[in-house]
Structure 1
Amino acid sequence: MPKIVNHKERKIKIAESTWNVIVREGLENASVRKIALEAGLSVGSLRHYFPSQSDLFLFSMELVSDRVQKRIENTEYNGQPIEIIQQALSEVLPIDEERSIEMEVWLIFSAKTLVDQKLEELSQKVFIQMKTGIERVIHSMEQLQLLRSTINKEMEVLRLHALIDGLAMHHILYPKVLTKEEMVHTLTYHLQSLCVEDT
């Protein structure tokens, strides 16, 4: 009886193998042959699922985005409102091994978006989704009467977005200089600076 192959699981395995090769050897060395070897497949089998390197990179990048979104949707957060907001925003910070790999891969792929239209379109889509999520955070803080009345909400969305991206990138590049604990502390400090004094 022939073995039944779960094609979705195999595509995910190939994408995860792509992440591993990229993190270990860099994007420029992530050849189809190396990725196939990492996934335990032949080059022909890999090309059956991803005819081009662009297709493979696009799916791998989409998988990063999907994993982050599902984690946010499926995690039950506990604590005071500001703590819950901090925990949710930390889903896109490299605070553990899983999220570190996701962020490192995403940053590496981001350079590729300059020359690959499909990746650029996905990157822009995720950027807008992130911005929309932060807009909801600021709106929720206002609804919960946490936000200071003098806050410029539009500017704070841009600033919080830039802060999160900067923290993630700086930790990936300089993990010994900006630690995981400092990332979370900086985010919490910033959120508290937006709140009324008795929060």
Structure 2
Amino acid sequence: MPKVVDPEARRDEVVDAVFRVVRRAGFEHASLRNVAEEAGLAIGSVRHYFDSHTDLMVFAMRASLDRVAARLMERVGPLLAEQDRDARAEGAERMLSELLPLDDQRRDETTVWLAFATAARTRPELEPLARESYDGMRTLVRRIVDGLAMRRPLDAELETERLAALIDGLTLEGVLRPDRMTPELMARTLHHHLRTLTGHP
């Protein structure tokens, strides 16, 4: 009797293989053949689900976005409902920490995302997702800034860009220089910055 394959589960397996190849060897090595080999599949099996390398990369990039977004959505409700300033700052810190490479899982995710974002500069098919990620992150940061500015008026637009730049910088340094930009230093830096927004430097 032929084996029944769950298409969604098989696509997830292939996407996980894409992530492993990109982490280990870079975006340019994530060919259909290399991804199929990483997943332990025949290349024809991969082509059954993805018509081309472009289709596979777009699907993988979307999956990367969706996985992080799902974790953020778990936290956004309680954060927006919180009335206490300090508790709201702690919730914002936990939420933004999901975007930083503070453990193996998040380091892997940010490594893959940086590879995708860099590739999107010269690959038009990836650019819409890169822009969606950019805009989504700034929307999230703006809502956090608005929620934390409880004690004094702030230039919300400027503070949004400042906090977004901080996240971007910590992420890049945490991936490229993990020996110097340690998880502890990233967490302390984010904590200190958010406290300045609440009026408690």
- The alignment status of 1:92 with 2:99, answered yes or no, reads yes
Report the CA distance between 1:111 and its aligned residue: 1.6
- The alignment status of 1:5 with 2:1, answered yes or no, reads no
Deviates more, 1:31-40 or 1:58-67: 31-40
Give aligned-pair identity as a percent: 37
Contact 2:173–2:181, Cα closer than 8 Å, also in 1: yes
Deviates more, 1:166-175 or 1:105-114: 105-114
- The alignment status of 1:152 with 2:159, answered yes or no, reads no
Between the aligned partners of 1:24 and 1:137, the Cα distance in structure 2 is: 34
Between the aligned partners of 1:172 and 1:124, the Cα distance in structure 2 is: 21
Q: Which blocks of at least 5 consecutive residues in structure 2 are unaligned?
A: none
> How far does the alpha carbon of each residue in 1:56-90 deviate from its partner, in whole angstroms, 9 at most, with x for none?
11111111110001111235789822111100011
Structure 1 vs Structure 2 CA RMSD: 1.8
Letter paired with 2:15: A
Report the CA distance between 1:55 and its aligned residue: 1.0
Between the aligned partners of 1:15 and 1:22, the Cα distance in structure 2 is: 11
In structure 2, the partner of 1:110 is: 117
Number of residue pairs matched by the alignment: 194
Deviates more, 1:76-85 or 1:62-71: 76-85
In structure 1, the partner of 2:195 is: 192
Between the aligned partners of 2:183 and 2:105, the Cα distance in structure 1 is: 13
> How far does the alpha carbon of each residue in 1:78-132 deviate from its partner, in whole angstroms, 9 at most, with x for none?
9822111100011111111111111000101112112221210110011111111
Report the CA distance between 1:30 and its aligned residue: 2.2
Secondary structure in structure 2 of the residue aligned to 1:117: coil
In structure 1, the partner of 2:89 is: 82
Letter paired with 2:160: V
- Per the normalisation by structure 1, the TM-score is 0.91
Between the aligned partners of 2:68 and 2:4, the Cα distance in structure 1 is: 29
In structure 2, the partner of 1:58 is: 58
Between the aligned partners of 1:15 and 1:113, the Cα distance in structure 2 is: 18
Report the CA distance between 1:31 and its aligned residue: 2.4
In structure 2, the partner of 1:181 is: 184
> How far does the alpha carbon of each residue in 1:130-161 deviate from its partner, in whole angstroms, 9 at most, with x for none?
1111111112123xx2x432x21110001101
Q: Which blocks of at least 5 consecutive residues in structure 1 are unaligned?
A: none
Between the aligned partners of 1:7 and 1:28, the Cα distance in structure 2 is: 26
Between the aligned partners of 1:120 and 1:158, the Cα distance in structure 2 is: 21
- Per the normalisation by structure 2, the TM-score is 0.90
Letter paired with 2:152: R
